[in-house]
Amino acid sequence: MTGPCHSLFTNASLLAAALFPWQTPVDRPTGPVSACVTAECHGDVLRGSALHAPAAQRRCQACHQLADAAAHRFAFAAAPRRLCSLCHVQSHRTFVHEAVAEGDCTGCHDPHGSDHRLHLHEDPAGGLCFRCHPAEKFEREGHVHGPVAAGACVVCHESHSSWYPDLLAREETDLCLLCHEDVVDRLARSRHSHQAVVDRACTVCHDPHASTHPAQLRGGAPQLCFSCHEHEPIRRLVETSKHVHGAIRTEESCTACHLGHGGMLPKLLAEPLMGLCLSCHDRPIETADGNRLADMATVLKNNPDHHGPVDRANCSACHNPHASANFRLLSQEYPEMFYAPFDLQNYDLCFSCHIKEMVTEESGTGVTGFRHGERNLHFVHVNKETKGRTCRACHEVHASRSPFHIRQKVPFGTGGWEIEINFNVLPDGGRCAPGCHEPQEYARNPDGGALLPAPDLKVDADQ
């Protein structure tokens, strides 16, 4: 044969011979040899149910050649690493199984036959791969990947060579998603994806073989999450803060609030913020330091006058959802005690929304509706060197049954006493009769002039 095709074939053969000399086809002896396998000699060669073709056809000379008849000594028909490639020419892709690269075909295959397909020494499910790869690496106690548990290594890995690292049958994430269709469906319905998914690297978070953690995660949260998010403020907060959100200390940790693959909400939140918070705070909670948190779902249900951030379902406006130096995970300074010497910095949290002149100016005109004439009554209550009342001395911070989130009762002393405030809205101001002082009224226009409208009054039907 001559011409371009012959030239191409010849060049390809020469190239193969140069790159993989042990795989260059050669002439092989033919014809059966029946005398090699008898009851007295080599009888065990043909006992397997899956026989190598030369053995099944009694063509022993395809692999063995007589070297010394007197000594009954034979030699291989070619060098051991080249012998198999006389018939089996393998395509060498980018990544080659080490046994193949070394020509150690008989490390996996019996050259005559066995009771396993492809005349393997063992069933892969029975430990063939573990002849070289330590079993303890893939069979850790706890959570084992399904194909590993079934011994089906070839579901994910090519046996001889691959275009992908670790002899994977496909690109890593594409390979995983062949089976994990639930993740495919979630990502198709998601607006936001985990960066690890975007970067197509499932094994950043999951061990593809086995793990002591659920879902074959490589570690427990939050440390696993911090392995990528190590430079973010969240890690520093959690590791250095006095107060850490209890959810982070649970087994679910980060995944109690965040989805692992993708979702509809920013930050991969599992559901809208308020619903997410109330999925835990729908019952009293005992904290690690012995404090008791209220059943916030019931508080909000029974108290219709909601604080602005609560009304906007934005718990994180006041609370850091991960950790904080401030009690109750508050995102900024706020006095923990009922009475506190006045310091504007103590109220950084409140004045991230409210104007600070509410408590710094003696004149309340244009600053607050809680004034008697021009006298700023917030200033009177709060701005004291000793026994300044904190905001929650009069206001519920989440919700109340009274306008302006006014409390029904306030704690008094250390004996667990509570005293009623008895606040009522008046047309030009209000009235309270608490146990801490005589009943008092205030009016924004106390001199009998035109009444000034009170801002957004919400008066209960029974007042």
| Domain limits, the chain | 48-169, 191-205+212-325, 344-443
DSSP β-ladder status, 424-426 and 429-432: antiparallel
pLDDT at 102: 87
Closest C-alpha to 272, from 280, 264, 262, 284 = 264
Q: Which tops the pLDDT comparison, 342 or 37?
A: 342
pLDDT at 231: 65
| pLDDT class of 241 with cuts at 50, 70, 90 | very high
C-alpha span between 318 and 208 (Å, rounded): 41
End-to-end CA distance of the chain: 109
Contacts of 126 (CB under 8 A, 6+ apart): 151
C-beta of residue 168 within 8 angstroms of C-beta of residue 202: no
| pLDDT class of 454 with cuts at 50, 70, 90 | very low
Q: Is the dihedral of CA 120, 122, 127, 132 positive or negative?
A: negative
What distance lies between CA 218 and its chain's CA centroid? 11
Q: Give me the torsion for CA of 313, 315, 316, 322, rounded to 10°.
A: -130
Region 75-84: what's the mean pLDDT? 86
Percent of the chain predicted with pLDDT > 90: 37
pLDDT at 36: 81
Closest C-alpha to 396, from 405, 387, 388, 383 = 405
pLDDT above 80 (res 312): yes
| pLDDT class of 198 with cuts at 50, 70, 90 | low
pLDDT at 461: 31
Q: Which tops the pLDDT comparison, 34 or 69?
A: 69
C-beta of residue 229 within 8 angstroms of C-beta of residue 221: no
pLDDT above 80 (res 412): no
pLDDT above 90 (res 331): yes
Crossing angle of helices 172-179 and 181-188, rounded to 10°: 100
C-alpha span between 14 and 23 (Å, rounded): 11
Q: What is the mean pLDDT of the chain?
A: 83
Long-range pairs, 223-227, Cβ under 8 A, ≥24: 225/253, 225/254
pLDDT at 437: 78
Q: Using the 8-state DSSP alphabet, how is residue 67 labeled? A: E
pLDDT at 1: 39
Report for 169-173, 248-252, 308-312: range of highest mean pLDDT: 308-312
pLDDT at 294: 93
DSSP secondary structure letters along 230-274? TTSHHHHHHHH-SEE-GGGGSSSGGGGTB-SSEESSGGGBSS-HH
pLDDT above 90 (res 157): yes
C-alpha span between 317 and 327 (Å, rounded): 15
| pLDDT class of 140 with cuts at 50, 70, 90 | low
